[in-house]
Structure 1
Amino acid sequence: MAQKATKALAAANTKRLNQTALLTFLFHAFYWLLRVLVYRSTFTKKSLLLYLLLASPQLFVNFVFERQSRPTLLPDGTIKRAGEDLDAKGLTEYMWDITYWTYGNLALVALLGDWAWIFYVVVPAYSVYLAWTTYTGMRGGYTDAAGVPQPGAASKRQQKMEKRGGQRMQYR
């Protein structure tokens, strides 16, 4: 029972990495088969450049997963290192999002043509928009559309106290 958690993590990582490698191969092969065999006339240097530019983040993520999460074994078969947890929160989740988003976009581009790469940009563009509006809101002190600063809403208790003349200090 020694290192049960390490063995379980190593087995789970190996299984998930093998599934990811197979899915990556299948989606990219599907793209290439359709683009070369079916849509040969529309496959240009621009198509190749778009593919290389927009599919490379997912391929890089797969490389990072392989380097960090693939278990390392000793010559006798024992586990030297189980690798990083592929179900971890934070950056790992975003890297899985990139992988799945690229899979979907590869299928769309393979079926619909190069113009479907625009869907790949939707999520990052929306993220930039949210970041910009948050930044300008904080910089402007949370003003409304007319530029008038909005004070924080007072609670009912605070409103009653202000009606009576504010908070009074009592000295004994």
Structure 2
Amino acid sequence: MAQKATKTLAASNTKRLNQTLYATLAIHSLFWFLRALIFRSSLSRKSILLYLLFSSPQLLLQLYFERLSRPTLNSENGAVKRAGEDLDAKGLTEYMWDVVYWSYGCIMMAAVFGDYAWWLWAVIPVYSGYAAWTTYTGMRGGYQDAAGVPQPGAATSKRQAKMEKRGGQKVQYR
């Protein structure tokens, strides 16, 4: 049972990285198959340049995830040396997965509908701006709830509220 969390994280990372690798190979192969055999007239220098430009963020993120999160094993006994970083982490890692998945969609749409589908990539910077703006306004407004009422720092329990209402024992906060 030693290092159970490390082994679990290593297995989870390996599974997710392998799934992502197979999905990447399948989607990019399908793109080139459709472009080379079916939509041969649309395969031009411009099309190849757009593909390289818009698929490179996904490929670079894939490489980044491989370097950061692929577990390393001890060659002698097969034990986990390093489990890698958690691929299910919140924040920036979550945003990077969104970019990878959105890239998959854009590549598939460009494979089927042509070069105009690359305009779907404009959603990513728009979403980033929206997320940054809502974070900024939330911090500036003091993190209010949906009705616009500021949330108190420490909530009192029902028992404490009843006692304070009766004028009995008052709770002093330090």
TM over 0.5: yes
1:127-146 correspondence to structure 2 within 5 Å: 127-128=128-129
CA distance in 2, matches of 1:75, 1:129: 47
Verify: 1:60 aligned to 2:60, yes or no. yes
Q: Which runs of 5+ in 2 are unaligned?
A: 138-147, 149-174
Q: CA separation in 2, counterparts of 1:10 and 1:45?
A: 42
User: Match of 2:98?
Assistant: 97
Inter-partner Cα distance in structure 2 for 1:8 and 1:134: 33
Runs of 4+ aligned structure 1 residues displaced above 6 Å come to 132-135
Deviations 1:67-112 (A, max 9, x none): 0100001112111100000000111101100110001111110110
State the match for 1:79 in structure 2. 80
Tell whether the 8 Å contact from 2:58 to 2:99 is kept in structure 1 after alignment.
yes
The one-letter code matched in structure 2 to 1:104 is G
Secondary structure at the aligned position of 1:83 is classed as coil
Deviations 1:44-83 (A, max 9, x none): 1100110001000000000010001000011121111000
Question: How far, CA to CA, are the matches of 1:14 and 1:67 in structure 2?
Answer: 12
SS of residue paired to 2:86 = coil
1:73 to 1:120, Cα distance in 2 relative to 1, 3 A: same
Tell me the equivalent position of 1:115.
116
Output the amino acid matched with 1:59: L
1:43 aligns with 2:43: yes
Partner of 2:26: 26
Q: Which amino acid aligns with 1:43?
A: L
SS where residue 81 of structure 2 aligns?
Answer: strand
TM-score normalized by the length of structure 2: 0.73
| Structure 2 residue identity aligned to 1:87 | D
Q: CA deviation at 1:131?
A: 5.5
Instruction: Specify whether residues 122 and 16 from structure 1 end up closer, same or farther in structure 2 by C-alpha distance, changes over 3 A only.
Output: same
Residue 120 of structure 1, CA deviation: 1.1
CA RMSD of superposed structures (Å): 2.4
Paired residues in the alignment total 140
The DSSP-based 3-state class of the residue aligned with 1:80 is strand
% identical aligned pairs: 61
Select the structure of larger CA radius of gyration.
1
Change (3 A) 1:126 1:5: closer
Unaligned stretches of 5+ residues in structure 1: 138-152, 154-172
Q: Aligned runs of 1:155-170 on 2, under 5 Å?
A: none
The alpha-carbon deviation at position 4 of structure 1 amounts to 0.5
Shift of residue 128, structure 1, vs aligned partner:
3.8
Tell me which amino acid in the other structure corresponds to 1:112.
F
Change (3 A) 1:132 1:88: closer
